[in-house]
Amino acid sequence: MKSWWITGALALTACAQAPTPKAASSTPSATETARLQQIGAAVLFWSQAQRDANFPHMERVFPVHTVKTGRRVRPLPDGAPLPIPAAEVDAFIAAQNVAGLIVVQDGKVRLERYARGLTREGRWTSFSVAKSFTSTLVGAAIRDGYIKSVDEPVTRYIPELTGSGYDGVTIAQLLTMTSGVRWNEDYTDPNSDVARMFTHDVPAGQDPTVAYMRTLPRESAPGTKWVYKTGETNLIGVLVRNATKKPLAAYLSEKVWKPYGMEADAVWMIDQTGKEVSGCCLSVSLRDYARMGQLALEGGRGIVPANWFAQATAAKAQTGRPGYGYGYQWWTYPEERFGAQGIFGQSIFVDPARRIVIAMVSAWPKATGADLSGPRAAFQAKLIAAAVAN
């Protein structure tokens, strides 16, 4: 749910304008490198007008790699309209600054709404919803034979972590954020790890995530304590990239976008070394967010091992809230539901028993808060109840 972005208030009024888009798959220039180390700070402090302008067009602000779709598009045919008053949907969209809402049941669209200038053809940023896409690439790499199993040590694929707090940590423990390595995710604290990760000097030729993460001490035995760590999802991306020898955007295109039939190209923001920031920063169309939920619901046949999503969406760690847990970069909820979440109101919610996927993209007035997530959960429950009723 958190982002990798650096904390600190910077004046970036220009970001609300529409600068010339960056070329896809470009490597940042020296100027862009410095900007990447600073500009991200402002995302948390953008005005509402800036969020509205930039969330659907992050490639205009940051350099990206493109996740290319194929020729075949998986249909999302219309289903019976959801029996819920339009005025109630309108009120929720307005109250939550929702840009896109879609409800899919049995693979059919029962409700689809757009606002705030977003259209079916447009994209919206994911923030940490991207984490669930990244973990799916681990499953794909295991099926392809690039990775043997989640029980392997992380250092087998990221040898630069040898001698650090990640000695003896397995891929599974990285996926569940139970490495035992100390981390501070507080993005209101300029001294937190998530704030410092992309500001420290990186020796030439080293990956910035690895260079920072190897400096962190261990605070508990691996597998014994859950702590939310965006830096560890970034490590997962490094691990997949090292194992496959492919850029993450290219591998996501090869393993998910093309075979599953995503409708539109996605874009993935890159760091100062030209590598995808795998803990966040993927911009996707609303329908393709729904397709990702559908892929997980169906089990990802031909893309990941047969039991991958059953394992990935089961609670492997407890988050401190009864009934709520964490799997392989998926959040788990009561009634065996699961989902992906990102700050400022991004979500994919899956109810396997009722074969329902709800995808939502938003521009909340702040990153997170119970006053926003609570009403969203209540509205998701109303949508499910309406779907079950008819």
pTM for this predicted structure: 0.90
For residues 365-376, average pLDDT: 95
Q: How far is CA 192 from CA 130, 219, 296, 360, in A?
A: 22, 16, 33, 29
pLDDT digits (tens, 9 = 90+) for 171-217: 999 999 999 999 988 766 777 787 777 777 777 788 989 999 999 99
Beta-bridge partners for 331 = 326, 339
Per-residue pLDDT at 44: 73
pLDDT at 248 over 60: yes
| Nearest alpha-carbon partner for 375 in 104, 99, 91, 114 | 91
Residues 270, 271, 273: CA angle, nearest 5 degrees: 110
With the CA atoms of 116, 41, 137 and 154 taken in that order, what torsion angle do they form, in degrees rounded to the nearest 10? -160
Place of tokens 């329908």: 287
Per-residue DSSP letters for 55-72?
A: TT-GGGTS-EEEE---S-
Residues found in the chain:
390
pLDDT digits (tens, 9 = 90+) for 38-78: 445 567 778 999 999 999 999 999 999 999 999 999 999 99
pLDDT at 21 over 50: no
Q: Which of 44-58, 233-247, 368-382 shows the lowest mean pLDDT across its residues? A: 44-58
Per-residue pLDDT at 28: 53
Topology of domain 48-77+90-389, per CATH? Beta-lactamase (3.40.710)
Per-residue pLDDT at 18: 32
Starting at the edge strand that comes first in sequence, how are the strands of the sheet with 331-333 ordered?
A: 108-114, 98-105, 356-362, 346-351, 337-342, 331-333, 324-326, 317-321
Q: Is 281 helix (H, G, I), strand (E, B) or coil?
A: coil
Q: Which of 13-27, 166-180, 342-356 shows the lowest mean pLDDT across its residues? A: 13-27
Mean pLDDT, the chain, as a whole number?
89
- β-bridge pairing 317-321 and 282-284: unpaired
pLDDT digits (tens, 9 = 90+) for 288-325: 999 999 999 999 999 999 999 999 999 999 999 999 99
For residues 224-233, average pLDDT: 95
Domain residue extents for the chain: 48-77+90-389
pLDDT at 340 over 50: yes
For residues 113-128, average pLDDT: 97
pLDDT at 234 over 60: yes
Give the span between the Cα atoms of 359 and 367, in whole angstroms.
18
